[in-house]
Each structure stands twice: as C-alpha cells, then as structure tokens.
C-alpha cells in the first residue's frame, strides 16, 4: 500500500509540475506575441475611454452628380474600445458600415467595411486622440464615383457646418490639391541609388 501511495504522489506531483510549466510557457508565448495588446492594457486602457460613444464623422469626398462635386459626407458613428485597444462599432451614412480598428501610440486606425454594398473598405487614421470633442485625421478609400482618393476626415461630438470643417482642416495643415488650384512645385532632386 505504501509503494502505491508514494507512486501516486509522484505522478500527481509530476502532473502538477507539468501543468504549471505549460501554463507559464503559454503566458510567456502570449505575452511575446501580443506585446502591443499587453502594453496597451497596462498603460493606456483608461486613457482613451473618452473616445467611446456617438460621433459625427465628416470626410471630404467626390461625386460627379453633385454640384459642387467635392463635398463633406456625413456619417453617424458609435464606437466602443476594448481593454486591449481594439475599436469596434457601426457607422451609418448612405450605407451601413462595420468599424474595426485599433489604437496604438496615440493613433487610432479604423477600417470601415460596407454592410450593404460590395464596396472596398476605407481606412481612416486619426493621429491625435488627446482632444475630447473634435479629432482631425486622413482617410483613404474610394469616393462615390469608385475612384481611389484620400482626404481629410473629422470626428466631432456635435454637428458642424462646412465652414467649421474647412477651418479645422486648415488649422491641422492637411494638404488638399484640387484641379482648380495651381499645382505645388516639385522640390528636391533624384539621386541614383547604388547597389
């Protein structure tokens, strides 16, 4: 009986040691592969909670049938931020969109995926998240004529006028080249790259 008890204790001890080392190895692997998520959880998980909730999103876009053809398109968005800095939400404009993205190093990068039409998703980058009521960024995607374009985007807690939007974009120094404006000069020279 004593030999069986000792053998059982050794097997249980080995099992517990193996389980503990497997658990520790799993924690180390997850920690190494998800470093950005863990860093966000430990340092920033409360810093960006003010971004949750309802926003009015305006992005400058084009559509030939409108006059003028360049205009601000309005979406209403509701976003939620997880403890690991993942952004989830919904956006409603002409269509319904699903929002997915993340916050890393004080920059929020979002992707809007159309739920109603087979449109390619658009990317939105907001580089300064410390303001609470208005955030200015840049978007890249297809305009309403299905032409690839980039332009300014504004998130606001309140509705804004076209003049207010233009002032925000000018103050943030977002460049905009239009067909009716003179093109900016080319500066710099090309240098040969040696192998």
Average pLDDT, the chain: 81
Greatest Cα pair distance, the chain, in angstroms, is: 96
Are 100 and 165 in the same domain? Answer: yes
**In angstroms, rounded to a whole number, what is the distance separating the alpha carbons of residues 112 and 122?**
5
Instruction: Give buried/exposed letters for 129-147 (b at 16+ CB in 10 A, else e).
Output: beeeebbbbbbebebbeee
Are 84 and 129 in the same domain? Answer: yes
Does 106 reside within a domain? Answer: yes
Are 25 and 93 in the same domain? Answer: no
**What pLDDT digit, counting tens, does each position of 28-67 carry?**
776 666 666 666 666 666 778 889 999 999 998 888 887 8
Query: How far does Cα 180 stand from its chain's mean position?
Result: 32
Are 76 and 18 in the same domain? Answer: no
Using a cut of 0.85, tell me whether the model's pTM lies above it.
no
Does 182 reside within a domain? Answer: no
Q: Check which CATH number belongs to the domain holding 121 and give it.
A: 2.40.128.20
- pLDDT-derived band at 12 (thresholds 50, 70, 90) equals confident
Does 178 reside within a domain? Answer: no
Domain total of the chain:
2
Confidence at residue 140, expressed as pLDDT on a 0 to 100 scale = 94
Are 28 and 54 in the same domain? Answer: no
**In angstroms, rounded to a whole number, what is the distance separating the alpha carbons of residues 111 and 126?**
12
**179 has a pLDDT exceeding 70:** no
**192 has a pLDDT exceeding 60:** no
Length reported for the chain? 195
Query: What range defines the domain where residue 23 resides?
Result: 2-33
């Amino acid at each position: 009986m004593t030999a069986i008890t000792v053998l059982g204790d050794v097997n249980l001890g080995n099992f517990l040691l193996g389980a503990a080392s497997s658990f520790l190895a799993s924690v180390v692997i997850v920690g190494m592969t998800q470093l950005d998520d863990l860093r966000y959880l430990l340092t920033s998980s409360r810093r960006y909670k003010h971004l949750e909730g309802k926003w009015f999103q305006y992005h400058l876009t084009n559509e030939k049938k409108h006059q003028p053809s360049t205009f601000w398109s309005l979406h209403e968005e509701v976003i939620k931020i997880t403890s690991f800095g993942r952004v989830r939400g919904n956006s409603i404009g002409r269509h319904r969109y699903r929002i997915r993205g993340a916050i890393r190093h004080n920059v929020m990068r979002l992707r809007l995926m159309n739920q109603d039409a087979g449109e390619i998703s658009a990317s939105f980058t907001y580089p300064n998240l410390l303001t609470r009521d208005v955030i200015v960024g840049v978007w890249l995607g297809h305009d309403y004529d299905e032409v690839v374009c980039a332009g300014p985007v504004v998130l606001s807690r309140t509705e804004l006028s076209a003049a207010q939007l233009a002032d925000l974009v000018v103050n943030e120094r977002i460049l905009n080249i239009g067909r009716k404006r003179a093109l900016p000069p080319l500066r710099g020279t090309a240098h040969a790259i040696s192998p």
